[in-house]
């Protein structure tokens, strides 16, 4: 049984980058326990070592594979008790080819949006009345901000196309992969705005952690891209606007999740604490209905 006053936080994608830094940050709180789902036992062992947990009962490492919706549903069904914090942080990005999940879904849409939607829908009854739920966004969703890095922003097209990784008039797989990633981040921002009015006592938000070179996001890129991301960009980033580190961004994120920073439900928040104006479809309400009607079929 959960102790009175003890918060429970569920974080996806805690094995590296922002998720790992956030887990370390939250572990400094004496009144919190973490649920950090991982793909397999090896990942659990590696994460446990990375966290060097002083209180073993403070963290659990259950198995969940976001690329397999049956695994997501099984994990959600295994959870007991209430959840006070849910951070839907895990994300993936293809590089030069369209990759599909175990369910035959384009990987970026399937993992970054759909699996998290299925997870949240299946644990909704466990969320405490004042729970805080967050999604990770990205500046790549905004056409003006994205063009510096070869992105064209979120493409708010039919979900039947997104689930296949098909973008009209785009035949280049690398560009399609970038489109899929930036679109998934736009959908994360849209998700927070969609759920915010449904339960006004809870707080839903999306978070832009900034560009964080050196993290695992480029793991599926080519050798040159991986080397540049890991060794060159971290130095160059010190002189680039909108860049951060997992430590800095996770500290800002923890303040929101612990309700130490006041924001409005549905807000899109930058790692600096500023509220950002997202790029959204002109027919937001209609498009949100289309996306979530489609996504609900997989619950």
The burial of 38, by beta-carbon neighbours within 10 Å (0-12 exposed, 13-18 middle, 19 or more buried), is given as buried
Q: Please tell me the predicted confidence (pLDDT) of residue 218.
A: 45
Q: Roughly how many angstroms between the first and final C-alpha of the chain, as a whole number?
A: 28
Task: Give Cα 203 to chain centroid, integer Å.
Answer: 16
Q: Give the distance from CA 75 to its chain's centroid.
A: 17
Rounded Cα distance between 62 and 53, Å, is 16
List of E strands, 116-184:
127-136
pLDDT digits (tens, 9 = 90+) for 149-190: 789 999 999 999 999 999 998 888 999 999 999 999 999 999
- Give the three-state DSSP class for 138: coil
- Can you tell me the distance from the alpha carbon of 201 to that of 133, in angstroms, rounded to the nearest whole number? 12
The structure's pTM equals 0.90
Angstrom distance (rounded) from CA 94 to CA 108: 7
pLDDT tens for 201-247 read 999 999 999 988 655 554 454 444 444 444 445 454 454 566 889 99
Q: Measuring CA to CA, how many Å separate 297 from each of 114, 155, 157, 292?
A: 10, 21, 18, 9
Angle made by CA atoms 282, 288, 289, in degrees to the nearest 5: 125
Cα Rg for the chain, rounded, in angstroms? Answer: 18
Q: How many CB atoms lie within 10 A of CB 285?
A: 10
Q: Which domains does the chain have, with CATH numbers?
A: 7-296 (3.40.50.720)
Q: What pLDDT is attached to residue 232?
A: 45
Task: Say how far apart CA 26 and CA 34 lie, in whole Å.
Answer: 8
pLDDT (0 to 100) of residue 93: 92
Which residues in the chain show pLDDT less than 50? 218-219, 221-232, 234, 236-237, 239
- pLDDT value at position 242? 67
Q: d(Cα 274, Cα 264) in Å, to the nearest integer? A: 12
For residue 294, give the H/E element and its range.
helix 284-296
Q: Please tell me the predicted confidence (pLDDT) of residue 149.
A: 77
Q: What is the DSSP letter of 88?
A: E
Residues 182, 17: Cα–Cα separation, whole Å: 19
What does the pLDDT read at residue 146?
87
The pLDDT assigned to 217 comes to 52
């Amino acid at each position: 049984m959960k102790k009175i006053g003890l918060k429970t936080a569920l974080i996806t994608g805690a094995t590296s980058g922002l998720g790992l830094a956030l887990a370390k940050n939250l572990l400094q709180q004496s009144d919190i326990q973490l649920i950090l789902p991982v793909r397999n036992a090896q990942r659990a062992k590696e994460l446990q070592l990375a966290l060097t947990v002083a209180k073993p009962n403070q963290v659990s490492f259950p198995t969940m594979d976001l690329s397999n919706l049956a695994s997501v549903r099984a994990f959600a069904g295994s959870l007991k008790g209430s959840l006070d914090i849910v951070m839907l942080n895990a994300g993936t990005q293809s590089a030069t080819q369209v990759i599909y999940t175990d369910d035959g879904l384009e990987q970026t849409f399937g993992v970054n949006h759909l699996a998290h939607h299925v997870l949240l829908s299946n644990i909704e009854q466990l969320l405490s009345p004042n729970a805080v739920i967050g999604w990770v966004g990205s500046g790549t969703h905004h056409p003006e901000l994205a063009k510096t890095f070869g992105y064209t922003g979120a493409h708010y097209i039919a979900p039947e196309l997104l689930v296949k990784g098909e973008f009209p008039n785009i035949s280049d797989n690398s560009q399609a992969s970038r489109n899929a990633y930036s679109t998934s981040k736009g959908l994360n921002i849209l998700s927070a705005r969609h759920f915010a009015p449904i339960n006004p006592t809870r707080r839903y938000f999306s978070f832009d952690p900034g560009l964080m070179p050196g993290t695992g996001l480029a793991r599926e890129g080519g050798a040159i891209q991986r080397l540049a991301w890991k060794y060159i960009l971290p130095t160059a980033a010190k002189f680039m606007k909108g860049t951060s580190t997992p430590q800095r961004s996770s500290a800002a994120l923890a303040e929101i999740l612990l309700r130490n920073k006041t924001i409005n439900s549905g807000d899109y928040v930058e790692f600096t604490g500023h509220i950002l104006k997202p790029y959204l479809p002109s027919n937001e309400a209609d498009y949100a209905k289309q996306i979530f009607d489609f996504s609900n079929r997989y619950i």
